[in-house]
Amino acid sequence: MFDPVDDVIDRIARHLRRPVQIDPALDGRVMREITALPTPGGATALGKAWRWLRRPRQLTLTPLGGLAVAAAIAVVVLLARMNFRSPAPPQAESRAFQFVLVAPRATRISLVGDFNDWDATRTPMLRAGSEALWTVVVPLTPGRYHYAFLVDGSRWLADPSAPVARDDDYGAPSSVLTVGRGGDS
Amino acid sequence: MGTSDAALVRRVQTGDTGAYAGLVARYRDRLGRYALHMLGNREDAEEVLQDAFVRAYRSLARCDDPERFGAWLYGILVNRCRTAGARAARRARRFVHDPAALETAPLAGPDARAEWDDTVRWALARLPSESREAFLLKHVEELEYEDMARLTGAGVSALKMRVKRAREQLQAMLKEAERV
């Protein structure tokens, strides 16, 4: 479906992606500045040793040596599995969570959050019974989710019945929901 | 095929300072584009870019993965742009904060392309710096959210929200500009 927002954003992005030429004289200025500085990491014995340890190297093995290494790895893996076999992690089960908002004057509301990539088209809310009550049910696996309500496509509302996101540097209000292993929040 | 980033980084680390020129030439224009869009003028962008290259050189021993030198350098530039942007905002020199002046700012240019360029730059400069940063990294530099999170230190959710709001604000501003 044609989305006028995407069309405008695509045009802007294409425009901004055009190559930009920076004055090549900048290279000379950078080089003049760094030649007065010491070699990065220093030329100390410790620095050299650290670089030597981190540098990747090619090892050569004879086929016989390769087989011996493979056999040793297989033995270590088998022993580790025999001694430390842990039970398979339980599958994260999703539980249904109902989100409710009272908004008598709203004409449309979407639930947006981490669980739907903040996509306003994916989780529209529906009027339930009374005209003022909007609701939607979302299955959630255990985890911590930020979310908000998008009212009439432009107004962001935190959930009045949930904690406000403390690390809220989003520029818009949002709430936090923590879903525990047993589905508690 | 040219020498890899990792090979050039290792040469610099072992004392071949001249090899750094290869890295500067390789990343100059691409990083310059981000700085230019982020700061809104060429003079500041070049100053920040030069600073980022010099800082990267001085910290090269801390570049743990020379194969990813470009991403590491990007992180330094993003931080330098933030600092420079905050400084510029304090000086109130670079960006216009007067809404009345913005409304009457001329948008027309000598041709349609220049007009569009002016409009885009005008709209971009009006975005909050965090939104502008997120929008440029996502839609212009085409990074994944996980990479953006590593570069900016912000969470993926926060970044998604910033990008979403930037898109909405840009669209609204462009609509407003078309009416002028």
> Over the stretch A139-151, which tens digit does the pLDDT of each residue have?
888 888 888 888 8
What is the structure's pLDDT at B164? 94
Contacts of B148 (CB under 8 A, 6+ apart): B134, B137, B138, B154, B156, B159
| pLDDT exceeds 70 at position B103 | no
Comparing CA positions, the residue from B82, B72, B87 lying closest to residue B27 is B72
Contact predicate B133/B81, CB 8 Å: yes
Across the interface, do A30 and B171 touch by the CB < 8 Å criterion?
no
Domain coordinates in residue numbering, chain A: 95-179
Alpha-helix residue ranges (DSSP H) falling in A39-120: 45-54, 63-84
Give the confidence band of B141 by pLDDT, cuts at 50, 70, 90.
Answer: very high
Q: What angle do CA B96, B99, B104 make, to 5 degrees?
A: 90
Using an 8 Å CB-CB cutoff, list chain B residues near A171. Answer: 128, 130-131, 161-162, 165
Contact predicate B138/B145, CB 8 Å: yes
Lowest mean pLDDT, pick from A162-171, B13-22, B43-52: A162-171
| pLDDT exceeds 80 at position B139 | yes
The residues on A that touch B, with CB distances below 8 Å, are 4-5, 8-9, 12-13, 15-17, 19-24, 26-27, 29-31, 33-35, 37, 39-43, 47, 51, 54-55, 113-114, 117-118, 146, 154, 167, 169-172, 174
Domains and CATH numbers, chain B: 1-95 (1.10.1740.10), 96-180 (1.10.10.10)
| pLDDT exceeds 50 at position B109 | no
Lowest mean pLDDT, pick from A152-156, B29-33, B145-149: A152-156
Which residue numbers in chain A have pLDDT < 50?
A: 1, 84, 86-89, 168-169, 183-184
| pLDDT exceeds 80 at position B135 | yes
What is the structure's pLDDT at A154? 80
Single pTM value for the model: 0.56
Give the confidence band of B102 by pLDDT, cuts at 50, 70, 90.
Answer: very low
What mean pLDDT, rounded, does chain B reach? 84
Query: H or E segment at A100?
Result: strand A95-102
Chain B residue with minimum CA distance to A5: B171
Comparing CA positions, the residue from B25, B23, B104, B31 lying closest to residue B66 is B23
What is the structure's pLDDT at A75? 79
What is the structure's pLDDT at A167? 52
- CATH class of the domain at A95-179: mainly beta
